């Protein structure tokens, strides 16, 4: 079994590579809800602004140099907790062909180490209910704290 490498990389670079390689499309097809009503359309302007403000943290998972996974978090103080520097998961994905190799667990451990280095105090991460990976988060010491609901409002 070949070794996966995990490292901190620029979030924009990871996303650009993921776009070029069709990885964001694979991620969207597997996990997105309401696909007919809400199309994949990355907001590059917002990502560039967050990157410029130093509010992104990203880890890439690679196999033989090829991107096979990533975790991107948005860093900020909470609106109600201005003294608590937090990371909120934007996206994470590990390619099916490398799952079962502890890639998800390793990805979050490496990302947590990077977040600690940057002074983050609390991490918020989530799981799609139709493709639940809560077991991963529980194994890493996360606890369920909230359940979100979604509703399309239409035209």
Q: Is the pLDDT of residue 2 over 90?
A: no
Mean pLDDT, rounded, of the chain: 95
Average confidence (pLDDT) over 145-151: 93
Per-residue pLDDT reduced to its tens digit, 52-75: 999 999 999 999 999 999 999 999
- Residue whose C-alpha is closest to residue 76's, from 50, 42, 52: 50
Q: How far apart are CA 83 and CA 114, in angstroms?
A: 19
**pLDDT at residue 101, rounded to an integer:** 85
Go through the domains of the chain in sequence order and give each one's CATH number.
4-139 (3.40.630.30)
Q: Is the pLDDT of residue 95 over 80?
A: yes
Q: What are phi and psi of 129, to 5 degrees?
A: -70, -35
The answer to whether residues 83 and 77 touch, using CB atoms and an 8 Å cutoff, is yes
pLDDT range class, residue 88, cuts 50, 70, 90: very high
Max Cα separation, the chain? 50
**pLDDT at residue 1, rounded to an integer:** 59
* Residue 80 burial (C-beta neighbours within 10 Å; 0-12, 13-18, 19+): exposed
Average confidence (pLDDT) over 82-111: 95
């Amino acid at each position: 079994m070949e070794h996966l490498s995990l490292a901190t990389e620029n979030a924009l670079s990871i996303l650009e590579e993921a776009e070029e390689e069709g990885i964001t499309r694979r991620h969207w097809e597997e996990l997105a809800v309401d696909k007919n009503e809400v199309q994949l359309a990355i907001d590059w302007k917002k990502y560039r602004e967050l990157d410029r403000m130093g509010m992104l943290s990203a880890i890439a998972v690679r196999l033989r140099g090829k991107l096979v996974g990533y975790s991107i978090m948005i860093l900020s103080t909470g609106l109600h907790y201005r003294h608590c520097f937090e990371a909120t998961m934007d996206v994470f994905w590990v390619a099916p062909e490398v799952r079962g190799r502890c890639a998800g667990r390793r990805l979050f451990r490496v990302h947590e180490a990077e977040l600690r280095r940057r002074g983050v105090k609390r991490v918020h991460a989530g799981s799609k209910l139709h493709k639940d990976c809560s077991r991963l988060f529980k194994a890493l010491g996360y606890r369920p704290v909230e359940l979100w609901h979604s509703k399309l409002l239409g035209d």
